[in-house]
């Protein structure tokens, strides 16, 4: 069986295996990034126009593109509907971006850690992913400058708002400095903001793309975290010079995104009802986050360090005694607990042991203590320091 | 702006330009492959289960995969639901297949002519497309053997049932011979059957995939031609050894296809209602085809030769005096008539002048004579023989 060379880089997805294991109802899963069932709104299809059955435009429905552009302008990103491309989930935006830029060996600048599925998609297309470390304030600016002086990446892939997995929110000063550096070196920015609306402590900052003077940019977003992931509606907004090839790539990928889904999203985006829904979702997740933080303090204070995320769906734990957290998975699953090891979120996994990502939105509060206590026990059992005590 | 090497092969789609021009309501378009508006059924969303809002499985909804497998078994293709992957239109199947097999220079065997969007997708990923001519009976078997002796393609991409653009339906004997040759040379078959159900003169034959003894295979299909293209639901069914990488590729492309669309398709597939709908659609298109054939005889008898297609949506015309039909487009559009030049359906367009594809489902019967008369005039004006008369 002769597959393409790139298939040799197609990783059997760890996420996929973990999520499959976490399907068992008895499993307490801290692994995924699924919205809580309680946060999925009931939607009404009764007004769906009949005309949407026909083929649609590759760019997306004009009215939805307008609404997405209007929302982006509210965020502070100056753009028109022409610059919007509706995608089949924001995952598809990553696929289109990879096709647009990547040959084998093309350098791409990524955060360390970064979103696992983006890393996998870029590496699948042959990218050489150059990591720049995150600090609690955003990107490590000295490291960023050094990286850019060494090699010119095809683009920088950044998640400045409630970064996945770390939860980091780039500060205002850090955003300005990163934008200036990307402009200085003429590096294209891909800014991924799926968690932007899941903000629990004040409004999110202006997109980094909006602060560029010179570099090309692609801003991506999703309705999966705030509305319904099953609709598969995401989008990208790009600087004008990128639109023509991106549209052709979208057409080649799936012609266009489901028009009924696009219509449904349009019923929400920018509406008062959507505003109320977002308020409720934020309040719900804020409470879950705070409860999770308290439970973490009870069970993990001696084991790990963490920051309280101001948005998104994850805590990012650094073990005090680093060990390869991938080796903990089987023991955790045997105790009906699932989590995401931290190593795969790095371009060089083996250099970053001792981190793990815990989702706080999914496990019911009444099962939280049981789940975290079991996970803490699994970590203690695997840690030499504790074994010796 | 440094894009990937493959972007240099991203053609500004001729189809896209023609279809855009054909959007003007006064244009009589023989260009696209859109279902007639009359054939798009009204669908009911009132029973849509709420649970479909959450993320779904990359493979597709289990019940829909069962229904697709059952339909394929009815066609004569032995398979289980495990072998089915739901895709975002069958266009996505082409994208996944290209990723799975193609590096720059990888040989792929295609029909001459073949489906334009497949050709573009394969060439975008760097395929070296090797043509084998079509005869009214199917593939030219001698040419096929010669091609396979010269080079071993990664796969053969064939459309044996109501081929697009030629309308050819491989005969039973030709199917058996092609299957035997692919088996003999151990070549994987990709069989694309989007028009299978649009059969006007008797039932379509057993899929070619079902006749392989040894080769790997991927069978693709679509609901876009018989139900609603706006849903973006297609599928592939593959031999077991291909499933693991195809699933991972699907996950990387868009996680999964819209679940609401999948649910809607499930309400139809295999139902009595769908059976009745297909009967009506076939009767409607058969009438359109027959009316088109009569109008062609009135306007094109001295200009071109053609076969009556037994299914699908297209007539394929061979001009008696070959000329590059791409050069006719502007003149035709100036007369408010759109059509598809034949050259781009070949891996080597310049070697195949004088062909054109005419869709018979879209233009209303009362405008048919006007449209075809104008197109015939455009051809006459451009043909030296007639100019001299």
Residue B24 is assigned to a structural domain of this protein: yes
pLDDT computed for residue B13 by the predictor: 67
Report how many helices (DSSP H) and strands (DSSP E) chain B contains, helices first: 12, 14
Residue B47 is assigned to a structural domain of this protein: no
Residue B156 is assigned to a structural domain of this protein: yes
Q: How far is CA B157 from CA A235, A279, B22, B208, B311, in A?
A: 32, 51, 29, 11, 19
Give CA–CA dist B330/A266, Å, rounded: 37
State whether A101 and B3 contact (CB < 8 Å). yes
pLDDT computed for residue B17 by the predictor: 77
> Do B31 and B143 belong to one domain?
no
pLDDT computed for residue A362 by the predictor: 87
Residue B46 is assigned to a structural domain of this protein: no
- Interface contact B106, partner A, CB < 8 A: yes
> Do A160 and A187 belong to one domain?
yes
pLDDT computed for residue B20 by the predictor: 77
The residue in chain B having the minimum alpha-carbon distance to the alpha carbon of residue A118 is B252
Give CA–CA dist B185/B149, Å, rounded: 8
Domain end residue (candidates: B222, B245, B271): B271
The residue in chain B having the minimum alpha-carbon distance to the alpha carbon of residue A98 is B4
State whether A42 and B56 contact (CB < 8 Å). no
Residues 204-223 of B with CB under 8 A from A: 216
Phi, psi of B366 (to 5 degrees): -70, -15
pLDDT computed for residue A34 by the predictor: 86
> Do A305 and A356 belong to one domain?
yes
Residue B322: CB atoms within 10 A of its CB come to 13
**pLDDT < 50 positions in chain A:** 389
Interface contacts (A, B; CB < 8 Å): 202
CATH of the domain at A361: 3.90.1150.10
Give CA–CA dist A193/A216, Å, rounded: 17
Give CA–CA dist A268/B233, Å, rounded: 24
More confident residue, B10 or A293: A293
- Interface contact B18, partner A, CB < 8 A: no
Q: What is the CA radius of gyration of chain A?
A: 21
For A227-246, the DSSP string reads S-GGG--EEEEE-GGGHHHH
Digit-coded pLDDT (tens) for B199-243: 999 888 899 999 999 999 999 999 999 999 999 999 999 999 999
Digit-coded pLDDT (tens) for B265-297: 999 999 999 999 999 999 999 999 999 999 999
> Do B100 and B132 belong to one domain?
yes
> Do A10 and A70 belong to one domain?
no
Domain end residue (candidates: A243, A272, A301): A272
pLDDT computed for residue B386 by the predictor: 63
Query: How far is the alpha carbon of A35 from chain B, nearest alpha carbon, in Å?
Result: 7
Residues 40-99 of A with CB under 8 A from B: 40-43, 45-46, 48, 50, 52-56, 58, 87-89, 91-92, 95, 99
Q: How far is CA B321 from CA B278, B324, B362, in A?
A: 39, 10, 27
Give CA–CA dist A280/A295, Å, rounded: 23
- Interface contact B13, partner A, CB < 8 A: yes
pLDDT computed for residue A18 by the predictor: 81
Residue A45 is assigned to a structural domain of this protein: no
Residue B1 is assigned to a structural domain of this protein: no
Chain A residues closer than 8 Å to B100 by CB: 3-4, 7
pLDDT computed for residue A222 by the predictor: 96
Element (H, E) at B90: helix B89-101
pLDDT computed for residue A1 by the predictor: 64
pLDDT computed for residue A360 by the predictor: 96
pLDDT computed for residue A347 by the predictor: 94
Query: How far is the alpha carbon of A173 from chain B, nearest alpha carbon, in Å?
Result: 28
CATH of the domain at A198: 3.40.640.10
Structure tokens at A361: 């939105």
> Do A69 and A11 belong to one domain?
no
> Do A194 and A220 belong to one domain?
yes
For B354-386, the DSSP string reads SEEEEESSSS-HHHHHHHHHHHHHHHHHH-HHH
Digit-coded pLDDT (tens) for B176-188: 999 999 999 999 9
> Do B244 and B372 belong to one domain?
no
> Do A133 and A249 belong to one domain?
yes
pLDDT confidence band for B12 (50 / 70 / 90) = low
For residues B159-184, give the mean pLDDT: 97
Residues 122-141 of B with CB under 8 A from A: 124-125
State whether A58 and B16 contact (CB < 8 Å). yes
- Residue A215's contacts (CB-CB under 8 Å, 6 or more residues apart) are A182, A183, A186, A187, A188, A189
Contact A141, A181 (CB under 8 A): yes
Residue B387 confidence (pLDDT) above 60: no
- Closest residue by Cα to residue B331 from B369, B382, B387: B382
pLDDT confidence band for B1 (50 / 70 / 90) = low
| Number of structural domains in chain B | 2
> Do A203 and A109 belong to one domain?
yes
Query: How far is the alpha carbon of B224 from chain A, nearest alpha carbon, in Å?
Result: 8
Structure tokens at A214: 């010179």
Q: What is the CA radius of gyration of chain B?
A: 21
Residue B301 confidence (pLDDT) above 80: yes
Structure tokens at A332: 């955790």
- Residue A310's contacts (CB-CB under 8 Å, 6 or more residues apart) are A162, A167, A169, A199, A200, A201, A202
State whether A88 and B154 contact (CB < 8 Å). no
Residue B307 confidence (pLDDT) above 70: yes
Residue B49 is assigned to a structural domain of this protein: no
State whether B88 and A258 contact (CB < 8 Å). yes
> Range of B328's domain?
8-40+274-383
State whether B45 and A46 contact (CB < 8 Å). yes
ipTM of the shown complex: 0.95
> Do A265 and A280 belong to one domain?
no
Give CA–CA dist B185/B165, Å, rounded: 27
Rounded to the nearest integer, the mean pLDDT of chain B is 94
Residue B258 is assigned to a structural domain of this protein: yes
> Do B321 and B281 belong to one domain?
yes
Residue B206: CB atoms within 10 A of its CB come to 16
Residues 332-361 of A with CB under 8 A from B: none
The residue in chain A having the minimum alpha-carbon distance to the alpha carbon of residue B5 is A103
Domain end residue (candidates: A239, A254, A272): A272
Least confident of A73-77, B51-55, B255-259: B51-55
Digit-coded pLDDT (tens) for A54-67: 999 999 999 999 99
- Residue A297's contacts (CB-CB under 8 Å, 6 or more residues apart) are none
């Amino acid at each position: 069986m002769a597959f393409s060379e790139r298939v040799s880089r197609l990783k059997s997805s760890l996420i996929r295996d973990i999520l499959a294991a976490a399907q068992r109802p008895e499993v307490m899963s801290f692994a995924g990034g699924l919205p809580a069932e309680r946060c999925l709104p009931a939607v009404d299809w009764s007004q769906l126009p009949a005309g949407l059955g026909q083929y649609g435009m590759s760019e997306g429905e004009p009215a939805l593109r307008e609404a997405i552009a209007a929302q982006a302008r509210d965020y502070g990103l100056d753009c028109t509907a022409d610059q919007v491309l509706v995608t089949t989930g924001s995952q598809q935006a990553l696929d289109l971006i990879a096709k647009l830029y990547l040959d084998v060996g093309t350098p791409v600048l990524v955060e360390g850690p970064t979103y696992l599925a983006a890393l996998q998609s870029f590496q699948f297309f042959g990218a050489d992913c150059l990591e720049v470390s995150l600090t609690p304030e955003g990107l490590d600016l000295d490291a960023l400058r050094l990286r850019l002086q060494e090699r010119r990446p095809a683009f920088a892939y950044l998640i400045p708002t409630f970064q996945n997995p770390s939860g980091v929110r780039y500060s205002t000063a850090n955003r300005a400095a990163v934008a200036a550096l990307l402009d200085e070196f003429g590096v294209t920015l891909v800014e991924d903001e799926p968690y932007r609306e899941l903000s629990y402590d004040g409004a999110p900052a202006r997109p980094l793309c909006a602060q560029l003077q010179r570099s090309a940019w692609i801003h991506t977003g999703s309705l999966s975290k705030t509305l319904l992931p099953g609709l598969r509606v995401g989008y990208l907004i790009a600087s004008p010079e990128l639109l023509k090839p991106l549209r052709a790539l979208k057409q080649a990928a799936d012609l266009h995104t489901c028009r009924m889904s696009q219509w449904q999203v349009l019923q929400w985006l920018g509406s008062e009802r959507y505003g109320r829904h977002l308020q409720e979702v934020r309040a719900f997740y804020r409470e879950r986050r705070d409860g999770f933080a308290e439970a973490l303090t009870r069970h993990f204070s001696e084991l790990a360090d963490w920051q309280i995320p101001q948005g998104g769906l994850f805590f990012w734990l650094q073990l005090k005694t680093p060990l390869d957290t991938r080796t903990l998975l089987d023991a955790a699953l045997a105790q009906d607990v699932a989590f995401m090891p931290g190593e795969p979120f790095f371009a060089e996994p083996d250099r970053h042991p001792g981190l793990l990502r815990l989702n706080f939105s999914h496990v019911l509060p009444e099962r939280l203590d049981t789940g975290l206590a079991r996970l803490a026990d699994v970590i203690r059992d695997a840690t030499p320091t504790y074994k010796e005590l």
